[in-house]
Amino acid sequence: MKLKDLSIVIPVYQAESSIGKLIDQLETDSFLKTLNWELILVDDCSNDSSYEIIESKAIEYNNIIGLTLHKNSGQHSATLAGIIEAKGELLLTMDDDFEHPVEEIEGLINALNRQKADVVFGIPENQEKNIIRKRISKEFKRATRNFSEGYGEGSAFRLIRKQIYSQLGKHKTPFVFIDEVLAWYTKNVLFVPINFNQATKKSTYRFSNLFGLFFNIMFTYSSFPAQLLTKVGIVGSFISFGVGIFYIVKKLFFKAQLGFTSIAVSILFSASLILMALGVIAQYIYRQNRLLNQYPQFSIKSRTDEQE
């Protein structure tokens, strides 16, 4: 099967007011007309007429693939469903609300080819107006950088080479965070500042969703909880062991309350063993979680016998 030049994947949710216009803008874009491209629209079980609009546009334009999900699965899962269907040499993901400028697609492709990057993110040059949301977003990105293997920056406006995005379909766990999985396969990433448009619909991401996303990333992709529990277990076990020795010495060479030493030593030594065991269990669970998420041992960039 001949590959397309470009696949565009758009997760769609409650977007009846914008999705039809966005499709028309993409289909009439002068740069995209020079490419052999496909548009994959994944309706995330919307309650409005979003999918009916997608169906009508799929009749109007022959390069559209429309999908609808049985239940609402979230933006990243809906995007992954579209990525699995993609057949392009390059893949672009974008939102359904006009926030990501169609006219900047050419710039992302040029930047990727010029810098020979594997992934290019379009990041907002204009700052978030909501100060609280801006701060939370900044701390969220910092946390993903410090506590996991994420890039610490990014957006849903991303361009990915087939060699990389084809790996994403392997990860079909109940929770998937695309940017984190991308970081497993490549660090050859470029960030291009772009003046984002004003979104034409209200964001469905509330503060509670952002916090939920953060905790999902922490416990699905990060080793921080396991490392923290392991360190607490080791330090706690040494402290308990040391205090236990102190009470034994006190019992042997100094006066001690009858029965107190044996009880204290028993409790402290038991606590040290429990804390040590918790640390071991945490590391075991973390490694099992990496197996569940199919963490790759390596990712081949190129080879000498590769066929053109």
Is 217 in contact with 139 (CB distance < 8 Å)?
no
Tens-digit pLDDT profile for residues 125-136: 865 555 665 666
pLDDT of residue 43: 96
H or E element at residue 122: strand 119-124
Backbone angles phi, psi at 4, to 5 degrees: -80, 160
And the tokens for 251?
């019992």
Give 197's DSSP letter.
Answer: P
Tens-digit pLDDT profile for residues 37-89: 999 999 999 999 999 999 999 999 999 999 999 999 888 889 999 999 999 99
Greatest CA separation for the chain:
93
Q: Where are the domains of the chain?
A: 4-220, 224-292
Residue recorded with tokens 């999705």? 19
More confident of the two residues 241 and 88: 88
Question: What secondary structure does DSSP assign to 83-108, as a single string?
Answer: HHH--EEEEEE--SSS-S-GGGHHHH
| pLDDT more than 90, % of the chain | 43
Number of residues that this document lists for the chain:
308
And the tokens for 272?
């040290």
CA distance 109 to 120: 8
Q: Which residues of 59-89 are buried (b: 16+ CB within 10 A; e: fewer)?
A: eeeebbbbbbbeebbbbbbbbbbbbbebebe
Using pLDDT thresholds of 50, 70 and 90, give the confidence band for residue 243. confident
Report the half-sphere exposure of 269 (CA within 13 A, side-chain side): 11
Using pLDDT thresholds of 50, 70 and 90, give the confidence band for residue 278. confident
Residue 159 pLDDT > 80: yes
Task: State the average pLDDT over residues 83-101.
Answer: 95
Give 47's DSSP letter.
Answer: S
And the tokens for 282?
């945490």
Would you call 40 helix, strand, or coil by DSSP? strand
Using pLDDT thresholds of 50, 70 and 90, give the confidence band for residue 308. very low
Task: State the average pLDDT over residues 262-289.
Answer: 74
Tens-digit pLDDT profile for residues 190-206: 999 999 888 777 766 66
Is 97 in contact with 15 (CB distance < 8 Å)?
yes
- Looking at domain 4-220, its CATH superfamily turns out to be Spore Coat Polysaccharide Biosynthesis Protein SpsA; Chain A (3.90.550.10)
